[in-house]
Structure 1
Amino acid sequence: MHRRTVLVQLAALFSAACGGGGGPATPAASAPTAGADPVAANPAPAAAPPPAPPAPSSPHIAAWGDSLTPRVAFTLAALYPARQVFDGGVNGETSGDILRRHRADNRHRDWINVFWYGHNNQTQADQIRADIAASVALLSPGNDRFIVMSVVNQATERENRGGADYRTILELNESLAATYPAHYLDIRSHLVQQADRSRWQDAADFDNDVVPRSLRYDHIHLNHDGSRVVAERLKRFIDAKGW
């Protein structure tokens, strides 16, 4: 056999072994267009924006209430010389009156707020609860630094232990404690416990479950010592919270 014929046959065998010949060619993958970004076809989801920082909080204190509030606010300011203490107490106001003033005020909503409502409409429990809730809702978003103080019963026949309005006031305070467990301060009971029972009048007031005569100058209003007791208790509450 001629060498040429042998070479031709060998070439044919080699071509068959490598897959050459009659089958259709497998189409090649198309090359990416020049300059195209291969990731652009499946873009990654955009990153979520970072959460907004919390609103700055003020260390200052706004005390909202009636005629019991001014002396307490004054004494509290002396206990916190580096802070401002706003006196939001007005004589004779009901819880609704205080709420209206609080609603109109935009300067103290990021402060620590003290709500001491109800001494001039003490038997209107539902109204007092609603007015306090409305005031809490007015605080700046994220500001949960507020204190709800209990209503103090008067040293009168109706509000002494067993009197016609005594249970109404205590039940109101119990409901406030249940609604605001981390923010409630039972200042009424604290004042009652300060009675000097070596004095006959304080001992009688203690038995009647009212503020002792040594801490007030009439049936309800606190004297200097009584206001100091309230202010000092408020300070301990605020400090314990780290506010």
Structure 2
Amino acid sequence: MTAKITRRALLAAGGVSVAAAAVGTVYTFGPRMNQSAASDADVRDYLQRLWLQPSEAEIAALEKCVTHLKQAGLWNKLDAFWDLRASTRQGALLNIRQRAFDLKVQGHMVQRPGFGLAGDGVGGFARTGIMPGAEGVRFSLSSASFGAFCSINDNGGNNYAFGSLNGNFRLKTRQAPADAPSGYLNDAAQPLTGEPLSGIMPGLYTISRTSRDQLSLYKNDVQVGQSADPSTAVKNEEILLNRAGARFGSETFALAFVGAGLDANDMRELTLCFRDYLAAGMRPIACFGDSLTQGIRNMGKDPTATVTNYPSRVQALSGRIVYNGGMSGQTSTQIGKRAETDNIMNGAVNVIWAGRNNYREQDTVLSDIAKIVNHIGHDRYLVLSVLNGDYETEAKGLVDYQRIVSLNTALQQLYGDRFLDIRDILLKAGDTGSADDRADLERDIVPRSLRSDTIHLNDDGDALVGQSVANAIAAKGW
């Protein structure tokens, strides 16, 4: 019988390190543990309120961000700053700026470490506790701003970043590439609508009023809309995240802030600071594929054994959050359909391993992978080569072997340095001192010392794939 360990007992014992199963970062119980890693008083105060402490690397990144905000003169303009993609839900909801205005979730919202906080588009939102115009609140009649860094865009969904119960404050990002951001801020005129934006949608969306007759919309540090509509009244309504009136947001936001008005220079500094912080926090990795990605049990040996897969190895080696988007038995078409509807890819480094289950349809596989790459919307991705297995028709010189080689050649030509020839890496790792491996290498198939069956990899094989993927991502500085 396992003894029950309470949080009180852990704290009394001075703290116990635990591995966060879904994250890949080692945390520590108790507010006393990692505070010494931070020299900034505001960062220490934030850490003191956390039950699960982030790693020293994460603390260093946060401290650098806060220092940048202070040196740029932005810290004292903010009422709130939330790291919504923090490694724990509690960390995401706490206001880093001060001991007030922690977020309180109403309805259903999902917090994905490394990606952010997302509403469901039908009723989920977060209360900030900030009442414009109240004593001590910087957000005021003619000096006000709020913004959110969209990490995953929910195409076709609702896109309300901030608002109020009656809709008197509002910031919309956009639903599709042709859409424009828009918003209200302390005025009764028509909403300010920015220019339609093309290209990648994730980024920092902000609406800011710096004077009675100066209202601006920004995408990152670029002004995409401005208006001279005067501020007429500051409504005594709480500012809400992911809600404006009866409409609810469904995008994923990584960072968010509320405060006094920010001008163009402020926005340049804020954008630079947020970009550096998100990069220092190490961009998450999303792996999409079939059973080679999902992982399988060591069948026939121990049905209770831990599932082996390469994404978990990438997570352990990189210290990043890694999303395993593998699903056994799926073709490149099925993988592509999942990838196109799971917008987690937009903000992550992506690894695509598709085509093993329909390699005979080369044109289809190439088209499916091209669609996935197009959906990603950025160039931080790897495409892995298709493996051949211990099957009669897949050995060197046979018909299906030629099909797989032809497909891999086409992928290499299309994706260049973003093509990772994992089949070749596995072949070169064969044990030439083993008669079984030598026999497999003569047939130009993945050696059995790296396989658990005719095609799937064992722990050693997954470890090699994980190491190769992690090395490739690190080498590219992603």
**TM-score (normalised: structure 2):** 0.39
**Alpha carbon RMSD of aligned pairs, Å?**
1.9
Q: Deviations over 1:91-138 (max 9, x none)?
A: 000000100100111123120000000111111111110000000000
The corresponding residue for 1:215 is: 450
The reply on whether 1:201 has 2:436 as its aligned counterpart is yes
Q: List alignment gaps of at least 5 residues for structure 2.
A: 1-220, 225-270, 295-308
Identity value in percent: 40
Aligned equivalents of 2:447, 2:345: Cα separation in 1: 33
The corresponding residue for 1:78 is: 316
SS in 2 for 1:233: helix
Q: Which has the higher strand share?
A: 2
The reply on whether 1:188 has 2:423 as its aligned counterpart is yes
Q: Among residues 48, 69, 88, which one is paired with 2:293 in the alignment?
A: 69
Deviation (angstroms), 1:154: 1.1
Aligned equivalents of 1:182, 1:110: Cα separation in 2: 21
Contact 2:395 2:443 in 1 (8 A): yes
SS in 2 for 1:114: strand
Q: Among residues 364, 371, 378, which one is paired with 1:134 in the alignment?
A: 371
| Larger RCO (CA within 8 A; separation ≥ 6) | 1
Alignment of structure 1 residues 56-135 onto 2, 5 Å: 59-70=283-294, 71-81=309-319, 83-135=320-372
The corresponding residue for 1:7 is: none
Moved over 2 A (4+): 49-58
Q: List alignment gaps of at least 5 residues for structure 1.
A: 1-48
Q: Deviations over 1:187-222 (max 9, x none)?
A: 001101111011111001111111000000111000
Q: Structure 1 residues 166, 51: CA separation in 2 closer, same or farther (over 3 Å shift)?
A: farther
Deviation (angstroms), 1:182: 2.0
Q: Which has the higher helix share?
A: 1
Q: Deviations over 1:141-192 (max 9, x none)?
A: xx21000000001111100101121111101101110001020000001101
Contact 2:286 2:344 in 1 (8 A): no
Aligned equivalents of 1:136, 1:108: Cα separation in 2: 10
Q: Is the radius of gyration larger for structure 1 or structure 2? A: 1
SS in 2 for 1:210: coil
